Amino acid sequence: MDDVMLQEAISVAASLMLLISFALLAQHRLLSVLHWFAAQGVVLALTTLLVAVISGHYELYFSALMTLLLKGALLPWLLWRIIRKMHVHREVEPLVNMPVTMLIALTLVLICFYVALPIERMSQLVTHNTLAIAMATVFLGMLMMITRKKAITQVIGFLSIENALFFTAVGATHGMPMIVELGVAFDVLIAAIIFGLFFTHMRNTFDSLDLDVIQEKSKR
């Protein structure tokens, strides 16, 4: 593959990341949120693979494989098991209605584009124009955490922020050092397991995973 084609492939992957971030925000059902989250992991692995081909850093091949296994399969599976075991209500409960969330999300992307523009101009990397999108995906993950009622969707929002940060790192600097990456990967894995335990305790104590309910009950 020549450089132009790789560049185009990176662009496509970046726009897919953006699309998936919006899709995560737009879903009504918890399971489809999970599907899109898994898709985000797969696209992330693909992007890492592309950057590995472009830059020729061999560690990146390894981290692409790790991303695919961890974020494309293991984490979604863990979350799916939690949802099934806890009999969480299947609907996503947003605090703000969908079209308004979408408009906020679009504004966030615009702001990120504006902020990232001068940095992008200085960069010499092949992936320089993905920076705005990477930033936007981080903010969209935060938006998802803020606007959801249920603990489990907030956790998915958190994990998608982690995905977005990984994407930023891969796009902006051709990946973090291997040690850091391994550390973060295991952190995330452990975090997911701790979240699972946490959910169990929350449900045992409060009988619900809805944060409003929990706040209500802890006041008494």
CB of 168 to another protein, least distance (A): 14
Nearer to another protein, 10 or 30 (CB): 10
Which residues 89-108 are close enough to bind another protein by CB under 8 A? Answer: 98-99, 102, 105-106
Place of tokens 């695919």: 68
Nearer to another protein, 35 or 178 (CB): 35
Nearer to another protein, 9 or 213 (CB): 9
The reply on whether position 80 binds another protein by CB under 8 A is no
**Dihedral of alpha carbons 59, 24, 192, 76, sign:** negative
The reply on whether position 170 binds another protein by CB under 8 A is no
Q: Is 139 helix (H, G, I), strand (E, B) or coil?
A: helix
Which residues 121-140 are close enough to bind another protein by CB under 8 A? Answer: 121, 128-130, 132-133
Q: Looking at 18, 24, 43, 52, which residue binds another protein (CB under 8 A)?
A: 18
Nearer to another protein, 12 or 78 (CB): 12
Taking the C-alpha atoms of residue 42 and residue 78, their distance in angstroms, rounded to an integer, is 16
Q: What residues have CB less than 8 Å from 112, skipping those under 6 apart?
A: 132, 133, 135, 136, 139
Q: Looking at 6, 7, 104, 198, which residue binds another protein (CB under 8 A)?
A: 7
Nearer to another protein, 8 or 216 (CB): 8
Taking the C-alpha atoms of residue 52 and residue 175, their distance in angstroms, rounded to an integer, is 9
Taking the C-alpha atoms of residue 27 and residue 23, their distance in angstroms, rounded to an integer, is 6
The reply on whether position 110 binds another protein by CB under 8 A is yes
Structure tokens at 128: 């320089």
The radius of gyration of the chain's CA atoms, rounded to the nearest angstrom, is: 18
